[in-house]
Structure 1
Amino acid sequence: MSTSRPLDMSLVDLASPTEERNPRSAELDSLDARGMVDVILGEDAAVAAAVQAQAARIAGLVEECVAAIAAGGTVHYLGAGTSGRLGVLDAVELAPTFDADESMVTAHLAGGLGAFRTAVEGAEDSEEQGAELVRTACRPGDVVIGLAASGRTPFVGGALRQARADGLPTALISANPAAPLAELADHRILLDVGPEVVTGSTRMKAGTAQKLTLNALSTATMVRLGTTFGNLMIQVRPTNAKLVARTVRMLVQATGATPERAAAVLEEAGGEVRVALVALLASADAGSARGALEAHPRDPRRVGDPAGIRSAVAALTAER
């Protein structure tokens, strides 16, 4: 006896771009391994351009996220399946790179984190679960970002609809240029990647496009929040030998100091990378560098120097 759930035809849309058949891979199974790889990578080559076409919209969402986090709010990713897993991956990887935590960016996967490894049947089909998550996890000042390759996932729709009702800024990242849920989003990032190599397998081009978008979104957000000096990570916590070595290398790259000098100043600064960096750049002691940083804290409104490093160095230099 079948245990499958009855098919709800209201959830079926035969015109969905993510479900269309790709004519360029129609004979995929008849190719040898090299031919298959060439077709797959040939399709992937167009993904970056599709994301680049949405650069202005991604930048607009960056500003929304920066403002929210700077004011004490949280950016929430919500999705199901591949889309939701990519949100979880992006959120958790911000910790080691930018010393970010869940109060800044967090991810919610339909069916719970257990669904990261094992699909939870029907989780993505519940609008109420998405709405309930927003009601319980989101606060005024937060941003809600829906991730849905198809642009129609009920779980994401419920979350966006509830966020709208609560007056929260909303966004949708989708691989469907005609995403039905776009009307619920203030920021609409609709990635036109075309049909998948394997029909409906949105872990492929749609997933790659979403990953590229999230990379750009979260990285630009964190940099605007003052977590780097140039392209160097300065929020690293040197808690083990490998990270201490990485931090010393970064200080050498940023200042031109010898490794021995960089390591000595880092120790003098109590392992505080920002303090050591300012001390080296300004040829100052750690105490003076710390005071200058306290006078010039991280501030995304400080155009050209959100980390405050350049301003702190300039202040110390001007005192001489």
Structure 2
Amino acid sequence: MTADHNKIAEDNLLRLSSTLEGLTSESTNARSERLDEMSAQEIAQLMNDEDKAVALAVECVLEPIGLAIEAAKDSLKAGGRIIYVGAGTSGRLGVLDASEIPPTFSAPPELFHAIIAGGAPAIFQAQEGIEDDTERGVFDIEQASVCENDLVIGLAASGRTPYVMAALKFANEKGATTVGISCNANSPIEEIVDISIAPLVGPEILAGSTRLKSGTAQKMVLNMISTGAMVRSGKCYGNRMVELNVTNEKLRARALNLVRELTSASKTESLEALKTANWDVKVAILICETGADAQQSIAMLKSVGGHLRAALTKASNIGNGE
């Protein structure tokens, strides 16, 4: 490396150092300045006290979270996907949330797609250096074939991670709707996304360790977006998971209890309906409540976009001659 290149690298490092000094997520928490002197009980108490502030910080950004839920629902309705992009802890949180959608809602695994800087190895072993690779951020979005029907959610506690920023900018170029989740106010990510969500949780008890409060806040926000989008897409009835993926005995028993609890059928009748419905809970409920057969029940659901409540209402209106 030449002297000129060394000087440029040093200047960039000094600029980054100054940038980090201004971030709340990198600052020192006055309440934990004695952290290395604390007992185990004191550490647990302090962390619990600090975590109490996370839900309050998320409460302050419920409006943009609601917008993100609706945008996610609209993307899914248009045949698009929800794509998470992150590096380090943020990337792993995206992988965690996306991986829970198929078993919870019987959704295809590609519906929620997580991209983490460094790929699969980075899930289990930190590869933090990759977060500076802007070219890889663009490449990974391009490989995912992002289009205008997709919703791309960039996760970056700092609000400035180069990999995530590059990925979001490229997603914008492809016409996708973009969301940025960070834990710093007025961060660069806010300027490039359609929806910015920034729960301000304050300094970590271990300065700069954003896997703590910042990570908890990001997970809470992702839970809200993914669950809200699935609920708005007709994946539940009331507060019940009526599209659960029945893959084992425990889940078959849960499906049986759901049909029995949500209909006037007996347990034996509920079991017969489930077998007729090939263990599709929504179809079984319609069979029990309307007397329709499996194919008629499937058609009713399809006609109302899969929403069980709407299908039951439609069947009731038909039965009443409306």
Length-normalised TM-score, structure 1: 0.90
- Structure 2 counterpart of 1:280: 288
- Structure 1 counterpart of 2:224: 216
Aligned residue type for 2:51: D
Which stretch shifts more, 26-35 or 7-16? 7-16
1:309 Cα deviation from its structure 2 partner: 3.5
- Structure 1 counterpart of 2:159: 151
Aligned residue type for 2:25: T
Which stretch shifts more, 185-194 or 234-243? 234-243
In structure 2, which of residues 227, 233, 246 is the aligned counterpart of residue 225 of structure 1?
233
Could you say what secondary structure the match of 2:21 adopts? Answer: coil
Report if aligned partners of 1:265, 1:279 keep a CA contact under 8 Å in 2: yes
Aligned residue type for 1:311: T
Which stretch shifts more, 255-264 or 136-145? 255-264
Classify 1:116/1:294 alpha carbon distance in 2 versus 1 (closer, same or farther; 3 Å): closer
- Structure 2 counterpart of 1:301: none
- Structure 2 counterpart of 1:72: 79
Report if aligned partners of 1:77, 1:147 keep a CA contact under 8 Å in 2: yes
Q: C-alpha distance in 2, partners of 1:136/1:238?
A: 32
Q: C-alpha distance in 1, partners of 2:305/2:53?
A: 41
Calculate percent identity across the aligned residue pairs: 38
Matching of residue 85 in structure 1 with residue 87 in structure 2: no
Report if aligned partners of 2:105, 2:245 keep a CA contact under 8 Å in 1: no
Report if aligned partners of 1:225, 1:306 keep a CA contact under 8 Å in 2: no
- Structure 1 counterpart of 2:121: 114
Could you say what secondary structure the match of 2:181 adopts? Answer: strand
Matching of residue 308 in structure 1 with residue 310 in structure 2: yes
Q: C-alpha distance in 2, partners of 1:139/1:172?
A: 17
- The alignment's C-alpha RMSD in Å is 2.1
Aligned residue type for 1:119: A
Report if aligned partners of 2:277, 2:294 keep a CA contact under 8 Å in 1: yes
Comparing both structures, which one devotes a greater share of its residues to helix? 2
Could you say what secondary structure the match of 2:167 adopts? Answer: helix
- Structure 1 counterpart of 2:3: none
1:278 Cα deviation from its structure 2 partner: 1.2
1:223 Cα deviation from its structure 2 partner: 0.7
Could you say what secondary structure the match of 1:197 adopts? Answer: coil
Matching of residue 168 in structure 1 with residue 176 in structure 2: yes
Q: Which runs of 5+ in 1 are unaligned?
A: 299-304
Q: C-alpha distance in 2, partners of 1:21/1:121?
A: 22
Matching of residue 289 in structure 1 with residue 291 in structure 2: no
Classify 1:238/1:84 alpha carbon distance in 2 versus 1 (closer, same or farther; 3 Å): same
Q: C-alpha distance in 2, partners of 1:157/1:253?
A: 48
1:285 Cα deviation from its structure 2 partner: 4.5
1:317 Cα deviation from its structure 2 partner: 3.3
Q: Which runs of 5+ in 2 are unaligned?
A: 1-5
- Structure 1 counterpart of 2:16: 11
Report if aligned partners of 1:75, 1:106 keep a CA contact under 8 Å in 2: yes
Length-normalised TM-score, structure 2: 0.90
In structure 2, which of residues 134, 139, 142 is the aligned counterpart of residue 132 of structure 1?
139
Q: C-alpha distance in 1, partners of 2:240/2:254?
A: 11
Q: C-alpha distance in 2, partners of 1:48/1:103?
A: 30
